[in-house]
A = this chain, B = another copy of it.
Amino acid sequence: MASVRLTDRPLSVASAFRALEARGAGGVTIFVGRVRPDPGTGGRVVALVYEAHRGPALARFRALAREAERRFPTLGLVLWHRTGRLRVGEISVIVGAACAHRAPAFATARFLIEDLKVTVPIWKSERARPARRPRRPRDRRVGRSAG
Q: Is the CB of A31 within 8 A of B31?
A: no
Main secondary structure of the interface of A (DSSP, over half): mixed
Most chain B CB within 10 A, of A25, A32, A35, is at A32
Contacts of A21 in B (CB 8 A): 89
> If the complex has contacts A30-B29, A33-B26, A37-B24, are A102 and B113 also in contact, measured as CB distance less than 8 A?
yes
- What's the interface size class on A, roughly? 20 to 34
Q: Is the CB of A27 within 8 A of B17?
A: no
Contacts of A23 in B (CB 8 A): 37, 88-89
Q: Which residues of A contact B (CB under 8 A)?
A: 12-14, 17, 21, 23-38, 88-89, 100, 102, 105-106, 109-110, 113
Q: Is the CB of B32 within 8 A of A30?
A: yes
Most chain B CB within 10 A, of A34, A36, A89, is at A34
Q: Determine the distance from Cα of A88 to Cα of B26 in the docked complex, in whole angstroms.
A: 9
- 10 interchain residue pairs of minimum CB distance: A14-B14, A26-B36, A28-B32, A13-B17, A30-B30, A29-B31, A106-B110, A26-B34, A24-B36, A25-B34
